[in-house]
Amino acid sequence: MQTSALPAILGTYKRQAPLFVRGDGVYMVDEHGKRYLDLVAGIAVTSLGHNDPGVMNALQEAIATGLIHTSNLYRTAPGEALAQWFVDHSFASSVFFANSGAEANEGAFKFARRWAKSTGHQAKHEIIAVRGAFHGRMPGTLAATDRPAYRLPFRPLMAGVTIVERELDELRTVLDPETAAAVIVEPIQGEGGVRVVDPEFLRGLRDLTRERNVLLILDEIQCGLGRTGSFFAYEQLGIVPDMLTIAKPLANGLPIGAILVNEAVARVMQPGDHGTTFGGGPLLAHVAHHVVQRLSDPAMLQHVRETGAWFGEQLQGIADRTGQVRAIRGKGLMWGMDVHEPAAAIIGRAFEKGLLLVSAGEHTLRFLPPLVITKAELAEGLVMLESAMQG
C-alpha cells in the first residue's frame, strides 16, 4: 500500500475545512453541529432544499422497486414518463438524458453536427459561443467556455468551436450557412458573472440563425427549471430554441442532465449516434419527474419572481449603505454582486458567520439560494452578508 501526503480525493477543488454531515431545508450542518444558511444550493442544484420530504419520498419509491439501473438497452417507465413530461411541457419533440450539464452540452454539439451533415453541406460543423460563456470543462465545452484560466492548461482544445462577441453584427459575419452548425448561448451567464443577456440580442440571434439555417442551442443548465421565475428561461424571451440543455436542479442533487431537441434534430439521430450507460436511469428519472412537477408549479414560480425581486432590492440597499458594490445584476433567485475587494475574502468571512456563498469571477458574489427559501431566511442571510462585507 502506497503512503502519501496527498488527499485521497484528487485536489481539483479548494474545499472548506468543516465536514458537512446533514442538510435541513435551506441549511447545511457540519460535524460540530454548526448550521450554515445555504445561498449556494450546490451551485443552483438543490432548488427544493435539503432533506425535502417529497424528494425523499420519491427516492424511497424508486428504491422500493429494486430497479436502480438497467442501462439504456431496455425500457423503463420512469425514463419514458419523464421524457414525455418534457415533450408535453416544452417545444421539444424528443429528449436525451445525460449525467451532467457538461455532458448535455457535449451531446448537443454532436447532435448539431449530425444535423448539419444532413443539410448537404459537408463543411457545416462549426459551433459558435459568445463572450462570457461557460458551458463546461470537457474538451468541446471547454473550447466554448470564455475563461482563459480554465482553457490555457489544456490546449489544444477541440477544433471547430469559436467564441465571438455578444454582437449581432459580428455574428452576421461568422454565421456562414455552409460552415456554421450551431450557436450556443446562456440566457443568463452564471459563471460569467451572472450577466443577463439582452433579450433583444437573443431575439435577433434567433432570427439570424433561422435565416442562416443554423441551430440555436440555449444552455439553461444554471438559469433554467424555475430559477428565473419561469420554468424555462426562454419562456420570458419570446423565442424557441432548436435545442435546450438542462441539468443542475433536475433531480435536486442526483446527477442527471438532458438535451431537449426539436423535430428537425430528432429525425436525423439514429441508433448508435450517441449513448450513455447511466443517463435517465429509473431511480434518477423517477425523482426528477417529481422535481420538475414541483418546480413548474405556478405558485412556486410566483414565489421565485416575488421573492427574487425583493431580494434584488435588498442587495441594492446593502450597496447603498456600504459603498462597496460596483453593480448588481440578476433575475428571479439568481443574482450577482460586483464588489471592490476580492469576492473570496467576503465569502471567507461570511462562512465564519454561518453563511454559504459562491463567486462568479474574482470580484463577483453569486447568490443561488434554494427556490423554496423564504424572505425571513433571506433576511437572515442579508444581515450576515452585510456584516461580512464590512469586515
For 65-69, 97-101, 148-152, which range has the lowest pLDDT when averaged over its residues?
148-152
Q: Hey, what's the cell of 87?
A: 415533450
Q: Tell me what pLDDT residue 149 has.
A: 86
Q: Tell me what pLDDT residue 5 has.
A: 78
How far apart (Å, rounded) are the C-alpha atoms in residues 137 and 314? 34
3-state secondary structure of 179: coil
Angle subtended at Cα 79 by Cα 76 and Cα 84, rounded to the nearest 5 degrees: 120
Q: What is the DSSP string of 216-252?
A: EEEE-TTTTTTTTSSSSGGGGTT---SEEEE-TTTTB
Q: What is the DSSP string of 80-92?
A: HHHHHHHHHTSS-
**Is pLDDT at 2 greater than 80 in this prediction?**
no
Q: Tell me what pLDDT residue 384 has.
A: 98
Distances (CA, A) of 388 to 18, 316, 360, 376: 19, 16, 18, 19
pTM: 0.95
pLDDT tens for each residue of 216-258: 999 999 999 999 999 999 999 999 999 999 999 999 999 999 9
How does strand 126-130 pair with strand 180-185? parallel
Q: Tell me what pLDDT residue 1 has.
A: 59
pLDDT tens for each residue of 260-293: 999 999 999 999 999 999 999 999 999 999 999 9
Q: Tell me what pLDDT residue 4 has.
A: 64
Compute CA 155 distance to the chain's CA centroid, rounded to the nearest angstrom: 25
Average the pLDDT over 79-96 and give the result: 98
Residues with Cβ < 8 Å from 164, sequence gap 6 or more? 128, 129, 130, 131, 170, 171, 174
Beta carbons of 295 and 275 less than 8 angstroms apart = no
**For the chain, percent of residues with pLDDT exceeding 70:** 99
How far apart (Å, rounded) are the C-alpha atoms in residues 120 and 34? 61
User: Which residues on adjacent β-strands are paired with residue 97?
Assistant: 258
Q: Tell me what pLDDT residue 17 has.
A: 84
pLDDT tens for each residue of 299-337: 999 999 999 999 999 999 999 999 999 999 999 999 999
Band the pLDDT of 6: cuts 50, 70, 90. confident
**Is pLDDT at 148 greater than 90 in this prediction?**
no
Q: What is the mean pLDDT of the chain?
A: 96
How does strand 364-367 pair with strand 358-359? antiparallel
How far apart (Å, rounded) are the C-alpha atoms in residues 188 and 222? 8
Provide the 10 A C-beta neighbour count for residue 30. Answer: 16
